[in-house]
């Protein structure tokens, strides 16, 4: 597939002939339209940044320089964060107005957007009897504290419970940034190279990138299994192919133990 290079002279020209819709939308429908509009703008922003970086060809660090991919990733992440924290490109606002006839104010949708975030079918405590009494070590909890900011960011971006992210990190690496498994899984959330690449992680040893990539993958597992935490954890540990093969949690002792550990840690964190 050839690479897509974007060249946009008028950001809003594609919306100029959108037919006006007289239908009255409910607050819930408006919230969904607002979120979809913002998601579309974020996707377009990411594509533009990638295209800009490709065109620039790493002029500042050199195409083949050590760490080039890392600094490129930092640039894209920081730029995207800056844009999303501001008013964006204005595309989402224009698209929303064309559909609803109203100005976009995301702050008014804070409560209405909650139904569209990932919801777990299982209450985040007392998951099963096997996980009772399982607690994380004091050392792992202390190491975890330094990553609170990244965990908070990932939780908000991907709609995954902070306690669940922390519990996965403790189970995977005990908060050790340099952890490497026998299967060559790396970092805090133990990402293998193929998963890291597919999640957009350039430097698996960077705590923020690792947490963002691992949480993104965890959120995909939660969506794939309709919010079932046990199946999501099974997919994260053993791979979704095995979950499909066995039509549920695979009969692997490692996976069953992993799920019990994560849920035990989660119960403990909820009680703190």
Residue-level pLDDT, tens digit, the chain, 272 residues: 455 554 445 444 444 444 444 456 777 777 777 777 776 776 666 666 656 655 544 443 444 433 444 344 445 545 554 554 455 667 777 877 788 778 877 666 555 544 445 544 444 444 454 666 789 999 999 999 999 999 999 999 999 999 999 999 999 999 999 999 988 999 999 999 999 999 999 999 999 999 999 999 999 999 999 999 999 999 999 999 999 999 999 999 999 999 999 999 999 998 77
Measured CA to CA in angstroms, residue 63 lies from 5, 6, 30, 71 at distances of 18, 21, 45, 12
Domain boundaries, the chain: 13-109, 118-271
Would you put residue 102 in left (φ > 0), alpha (ψ -120 to 50) or beta?
A: beta
pTM above 0.75, yes or no: no
Query: What was the pLDDT predicted at 270?
Result: 86
Burial of 109: CB neighbours in 10 Å, binned 0-12, 13-18, 19+? buried
Cα separation, 165 vs 163, in Å, equals: 5
* Fold designation for 118-271: Lysozyme (1.10.530)
Task: Point out which residues pair with 186 in neighbouring strands.
Answer: 180, 191
Separation between Cα atoms, residue 83 and residue 142, nearest integer Å? 33
Active site residues: 172
Is 203:73 a contact under the CB 8 Å cutoff? yes
pLDDT at 52: 60
């Amino acid at each position: 597939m050839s690479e897509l290079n974007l060249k946009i002279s008028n950001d809003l020209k594609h919306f100029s002939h959108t037919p006006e819709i007289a239908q009255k939308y409910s607050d819930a429908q408006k919230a969904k339209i607002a979120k979809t509009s913002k998601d579309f703008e974020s996707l377009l922003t990411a594509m533009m940044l990638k295209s800009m970086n490709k065109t620039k060809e790493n002029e500042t660090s050199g195409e083949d320089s050590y760490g080039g991919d890392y600094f490129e990733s930092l640039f894209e992440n920081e730029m995207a964060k800056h844009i999303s924290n501001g008013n964006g490109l204005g595309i989402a606002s224009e698209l929303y107005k064309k559909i609803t006839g109203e100005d976009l104010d995301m702050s008014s949708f804070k409560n209405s957007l909650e139904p569209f975030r990932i919801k777990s079918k299982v209450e985040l405590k007392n998951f099963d009897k096997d996980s009772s009494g399982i607690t994380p070590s004091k050392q792992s909890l202390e190491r975890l504290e330094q990553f609170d900011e990244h965990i908070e960011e990932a939780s908000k971006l991907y709609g995954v419970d902070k306690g669940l992210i922390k519990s996965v990190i403790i189970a995977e690496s005990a908060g050790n940034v340099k952890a490497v498994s026998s299967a060559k899984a790396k970092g805090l959330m133990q990402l293998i190279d193929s998963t890291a690449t597919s999640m957009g992680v350039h430097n698996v040893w960077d705590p923020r990138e690792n947490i963002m990539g691992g949480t993104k993958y965890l959120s995909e597992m939660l969506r794939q299994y309709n919010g079932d935490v046990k199946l999501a954890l099974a997919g994260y540990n053993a791979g979704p192919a095995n979950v499909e093969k066995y039509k549920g949690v695979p009969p692997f002792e490692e996976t069953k133990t992993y799920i019990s550990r994560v849920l035990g840690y989660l119960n403990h964190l909820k009680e703190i």
